[in-house]
Amino acid sequence: PPDAPIKMDPFQTVAREMKFLTGNIRQLLGSGHPTLDTVAKYYTQSEGKYVRPMLVLLMSRATALTPRSSKEGMRSGSGSVDNSITDTRILADDNPDTVQNPISSINHDAAYTPEDSDILPSQRRLAEITELIHTASLLHDDVIDHSVSRRSAPSANIEFGNKMAVLAGDFLLGRASVALARLRDPEVTELLATVIANLVEGEFMQLKNTARDEKNPAWTEGTVEYYLQKTYLKSASLISKSCRAAAILGGSTDEVVEAAYLYGKNLGLAFQLVDDMLDYTISGEELGKPAGADLELGLATAPLLFAWKEDKSLGKLVGRKFSQPGDVQKARDIVSRSSGLEQTRALAQEYVDKAIEAISPFPDSEAKNGLIEMCTKVMKRRN
């Protein structure tokens, strides 16, 4: 049929921009201290999924075609930013290697003139910043979770120890903050700074695990809401606020900025729901990290919370965080006999539908199709 949706490879749509991403991130992470340099760049060696930068780039392109805001002229981030000078300054100040080699500048600034692409230099830099913040959170997360592997290799805490992994994460946040400040957009700075705080809030909610105590008969119901709030903070905040920031940097109208945010929020929630489902359904080999880790960590995620509504005996196990011998297996059996996994998938699908709905007013474009295809990919992903 002529109106069948065109299948887009979202990666292809922004492939040119993505090609430079890792190299630019590595440049932002250069340190004169050789060990810090190695630890900070460790997770840039393995191929990540780059979901967040890809979303920022796609959103930047998709919103470039929408109406312009009258505030646009007032924004410093929406014009062409002379990134090469500021970036060289980062490197010259901080990295002795590049003082001797002043030619090394950020790739995309050298490779593109503004006419080359509808993506602004500030939006490309935003894509890099989102990946830096995400990677910082992974460095800290792997310490908190006692992880042994990530992206099919030993995790940084195993390779370098907890102290260096934590400090490297802090260093990434520092460099992300410098890059953010150099975008010279206070609203975007505030958004991404809020994301960093939200990540910590989400992680704290997860440490506490449940909102109410076992003696309260309403706590089964309450925990799903608590889980979703935690999930927003831990996963959807970065995706939603960076989509919002991409639209702001592009000079979009308030309506478009809000639509970009809603797309990111709903996709982010779906992304984490699928993640929590895969923890039950996929082998560790395919995941590139140990499977079934959540129950071992004492975490009750969506599949279990839905199962709990059908089988109240899970409450006892949740209350003691699956800590007694046999608890994890017992919980796993109850979840697989329940409709918990099905309900988790259905909820993720609802969020994905909302994400697509949010951007439906955008004019048709390759990038918009890419954003829609990202939703399909999230539902189909196996790692």
Positions that interact with ligand FPP (CB under 6 A) = 133, 136-137, 140-141, 144-145, 147, 169, 173, 196, 199-200, 203, 234-235, 289, 293
Q: How far apart are CA 262 and CA 113, in angstroms?
A: 31
Helix (H) or strand (E) holding 196: helix 186-208
Compute the distance between CA of residue 84 and CA of residue 70 in angstroms, rounded to an integer.
28
State the residue number with the nearest CB to Mg ion. 145
Please state, in angstroms and as integers, the Cα–Cα distance from residue 204 to each residue in 133, 152, 368, following that order. 17, 27, 35
Burial 118-127 (b: 16+ CB within 10 A, else e): bbbbbbbbbb
Q: Residue 68 forms beta bridges with which residues?
A: 252
- Whole-angstrom Cα distance, residue 34 to residue 39? 9
How far is it, in rounded angstroms, from Cα 247 to Cα 126?
11
- Indicate whether 275 belongs to the interface with Mg ion (CB under 5 A): no
Please report how close the Cβ of residue 146 comes to ligand FPP at its closest, in angstroms: 10
Q: What residues contact residue 353 under an 8 Å CB cut-off, 6+ apart? A: none
C-beta closer to ligand FPP: residue 31 or 137: 137
Closest separation in Å from C-beta 111 to ligand FPP: 30
Which has the closest alpha carbon to 129: 192, 41, 58? 192
Binding segment toward Mg ion, per CB under 5 A, in 47-55, 137-145, 308-316, 325-333: 137-145
Q: How far is the CB of 369 from ligand FPP (least distance, A)?
A: 27
Q: Which does 235 bind (CB under 5 to 8 A by kind): ligand FPP, Mg ion, none?
A: ligand FPP
Give the nearer residue to ligand FPP in terms of CB position, either 8 or 199.
199
Q: How far is the CB of 231 from ligand FPP (least distance, A)?
A: 9
CB nearer to ligand FPP: pick between 37 and 145: 145
Binding-site partner at residue 282 among ligand FPP, Mg ion, none, CB < 5 to 8 Å by type: none
Q: Which of 218, 206, 220, 205 is nearest to 340 (CA)?
A: 220
136 binds, among Mg ion, ligand FPP, none (CB under 5 to 8 A by kind): ligand FPP
Amino acid of residue 348: A
Instruction: Kindly state the smallest distance separating residue 231's Cβ from Mg ion, in Å.
Output: 12
Q: Which is nearer to Mg ion, 60 or 235 (CB)?
A: 235
Q: Which residues contact 222 (CB under 8 A, 6 or more apart)?
A: 210, 211, 212, 216
Count CB-CB contacts under 10 A for residue 66.
Answer: 23
> In the numeric block, which tokens belong to residue 202?
């989400």
Q: Which is nearer to ligand FPP, 235 or 252 (CB)?
A: 235
**Which one of residues 37, 109, 131, 145 is an interface residue with Mg ion (CB under 5 A)?**
145
State in angstroms the smallest separation of the CB of 216 from ligand FPP: 26
Q: In terms of CB distance, is 203 or 350 closer to ligand FPP?
A: 203
Biggest distance spanned by C-alpha atoms of the chain: 67
Residue 234: name its binding partner from Mg ion, ligand FPP, none (Cβ under 5 to 8 Å by kind): ligand FPP
Smaller CB separation from Mg ion, 36 or 293: 293
Tell which one of 131, 141, 294, 373 touches Mg ion (CB under 5 A): 141
Q: Which two tokens stand for residue 308?
A: 């709990």
Binding site for Mg ion (CB under 5 A): 141, 145
